[in-house]
């Protein structure tokens, strides 16, 4: 019979061994899917990096178009050293990068880093990534859970822009990212199949984080979801998908919100019709075949599916397969639920860049016949800029104001920011500058210098560090951290509450009245035809191919 002292010693030894493993950089961690080991981050060697941890079974065969299924627990140790084994992204039709050099030396590196040109596409893409530094700071750290953008049509967590090492190293947080299904694979609208399975992928990754993050030094009671563009919309949707159990304790929606009245949103009938169009194209029958189309579509290769859906897209960023209100995963009318207050009352931070449209001009150039700098400079950019400002206001600025004000009206702490880009040399893309849609991610993650090889200027380094500290401060205390620690006022449309980041040479936040950016928001809120006209500019383009000819060649 074992003595009490022996049992005490054994228990203590077990605890110490567990702590030793956790404090060893890249050391083994026990997860619900089995043991995983990582390695030291190449950017910050004191940070443990775990890449490509499988959180769901590959969505192939009968699991294609179906809800995600958690992985079984493996008996061996998984070497989490790469993004999903062979750096595989979920299947998508990528934006062409043949003329990325037009963005200038820095712009070329940024656009290539954001693209997926070198990444393998495969339906075995359910990987989750963790960056952590448990050997210092809080014993249980706040968690930042990242959702990438891409219009629900493209995108991947596997980008050097989204490396979480610097955030984890400098701000005493754990950073998590993951892959979720896109386009027809994630939002098929297929008959007899669950809707919005791409959002179910996101939910499963969030559940995995809740169940496992403590083993990586994280605090499951302090998880902040943050995402950009479609990831921002997804972040906002967290409050609506499971309002009684959102898992998240804070939300940061960059350049995209769920309640944006100007954004395209199909309904169940339209999604089903699009499915039948594609199934007919692939020889699987149309509406008359009903659920038989699903079995047939599961026999097609991912390449066949991607080729077939290309005609359903206005560009790689605006596909024919998007989330919609099915009444099960998502409410049928998000705006009505929002107005009624039927959402999780989670502290909310939202905002956008000063010139979001710049990115979409970059995409337009990628699809155009423009191949030389001379042709690019021949475009009358002084005339293009006002159109871009209008797009930014309609599609991003006004929705951000609406989303922040929605929370205010329902008593939820909310903040709103605007990112001005600071004219930073290592975030600028020719000819649109440094305040384009997604440019703020280079400062949020602190990866501009690593991506471009151009070091931050002195004021950029300070402004970016302040930016990251603000996000970490929110994650650590979503309810009052920004106000108590940094003096940020909660959002109010009639007061100086708009937080200005990276404005000129400023290295900390300044505050201004919202009407300076929100003029005409009320007037344009319900003018959907404006968006239709603008998307015709960017988009009435059949797979984006006509965009350059229609938008630029004639200028």
Catalytic residues, by residue number, are 229
CA atoms within 13 A on the CB side of 286: 5
Helix (H) or strand (E) holding 185: helix 183-186
Q: Rounded to an integer, what distance in angstroms lies between the CA atom of residue 174 and that of residue 184? A: 32
CA proximity to 394, closest of 526, 492, 515, 514: 526
Q: H helices within 417-502, ranges in order?
A: 441-444, 448-452, 458-476, 481-486
CA proximity to 84, closest of 131, 121, 37, 29: 121
State the DSSP code for 70. B
**What are the Cα distances from residue 228, in Å, to 13, 22, 75, 164, 234?**
44, 31, 36, 15, 9
Alpha-carbon Rg of the chain, whole angstroms? 23
What is the distance in angstroms between the CA of the first residue and the CA of the last residue of the chain?
A: 89
State the DSSP code for 550. I
Buried b (16+ CB within 10 A) or exposed e, 505-519: ebbebeeeebeebbe
Please name the residues in contact with 182: beta carbons below 8 A apart, sequence gap of 6 or more.
90, 91, 92, 150, 152, 153, 154, 155, 198, 319
Tokens representing 380 are 């009358």
Per-state percent for the chain, helix, strand, coil, to nearest 5: 45, 15, 45
- Tokens 């984006």 found at: 544
State the DSSP code for 74. P
HEC states along 213-243?
A: HHHHCEEEEEEEEEEECHHHHHHHHHHHHCC
């Amino acid at each position: 019979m074992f003595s009490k002292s022996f049992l005490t010693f054994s228990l203590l030894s077990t605890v110490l061994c567990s702590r030793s493993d956790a404090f060893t950089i890249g050391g083994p961690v026990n997860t619900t899917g089995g043991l995983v080991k990582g390695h030291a981050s190449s950017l910050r060697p004191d940070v443990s990096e775990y890449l490509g941890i499988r959180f769901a079974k590959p969505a192939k065969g009968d699991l294609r178009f179906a809800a995600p299924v958690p992985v079984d627990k493996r008996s061996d140790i998984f070497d989490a050293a790469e993004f999903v084994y062979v750096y595989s992204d979920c299947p998508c039709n990528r934006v062409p990068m043949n003329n990325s050099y037009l963005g200038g030396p820095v712009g070329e590196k940024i656009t290539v880093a954001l693209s997926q040109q070198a990444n393998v596409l495969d339906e075995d893409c359910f990987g989750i990534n963790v960056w952590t530094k448990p050997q210092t700071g809080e014993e249980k750290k706040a968690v930042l859970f990242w959702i990438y953008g891409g219009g629900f049509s493209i995108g991947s967590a596997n980008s050097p822009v989204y490396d979480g090492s610097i955030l984890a190293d400098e701000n005493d947080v754990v950073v998590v990212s993951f892959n979720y299904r896109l386009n027809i694979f994630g939002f098929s609208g297929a008959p007899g199949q669950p809707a919005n399975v791409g959002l179910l992928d996101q939910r499963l990754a969030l559940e995995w984080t809740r169940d496992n993050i403590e083993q990586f030094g994280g605090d499951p009671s302090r998880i902040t979801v943050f995402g950009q563009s479609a990831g921002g919309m997804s972040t906002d949707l967290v409050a609506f998908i499971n309002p009684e159990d959102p898992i998240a304790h804070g939300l940061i929606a960059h350049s995209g919100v769920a309640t944006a009245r100007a954004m395209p949103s199909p309904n169940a009938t339209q999604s089903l019709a699009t499915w039948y169009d594609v199934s007919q194209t692939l020889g699987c029958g149309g509406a008359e075949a009903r659920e038989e189309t699903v079995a047939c579509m599961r026999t097609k290769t991912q390449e066949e599916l991607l080729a077939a859906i290309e005609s359903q897209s206005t560009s790689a960023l605006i596909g024919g397969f998007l989330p919609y209100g099915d009444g099960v995963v998502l409410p049928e009318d998000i705006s009505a639920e929002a107005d009624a207050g039927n959402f999780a009352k989670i502290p909310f931070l939202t905002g956008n860049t000063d010139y979001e449209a710049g990115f979409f001009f970059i995409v337009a150039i990628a699809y155009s016949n423009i191949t030389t700098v001379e042709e690019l400079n021949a475009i009358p950019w002084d005339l293009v800029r006002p159109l871009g400002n209008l797009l930014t206001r309609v599609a991003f600025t006004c929705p951000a104001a609406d989303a922040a004000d929605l929370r205010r009206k329902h008593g939820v702490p909310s903040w709103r920011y605007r990112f001005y880009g600071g004219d930073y040399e290592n975030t600028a893309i020719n000819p649109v500058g440094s305040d384009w849609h997604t440019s703020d991610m280079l400062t949020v993650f602190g990866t501009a210098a690593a991506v471009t090889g151009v070091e931050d200027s002195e004021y950029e380094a300070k402004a970016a560090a302040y930016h990251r500290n603000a996000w970490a401060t929110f994650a650590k205390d979503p309810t009052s951290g920004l106000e108590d620690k940094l003096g940020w006022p909660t959002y109010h449309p009639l007061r100086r509450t708009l937080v200005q980041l990276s404005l000129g040479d400023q290295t900390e936040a300044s505050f201004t009245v919202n009407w300076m950016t929100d003029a005409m928001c009320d007037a344009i809120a319900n003018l959907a035809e404006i968006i239709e006209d603008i998307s015709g500019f960017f988009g009435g383009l059949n797979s984006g191919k006509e965009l350059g000819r229609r938008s630029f060649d004639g200028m």
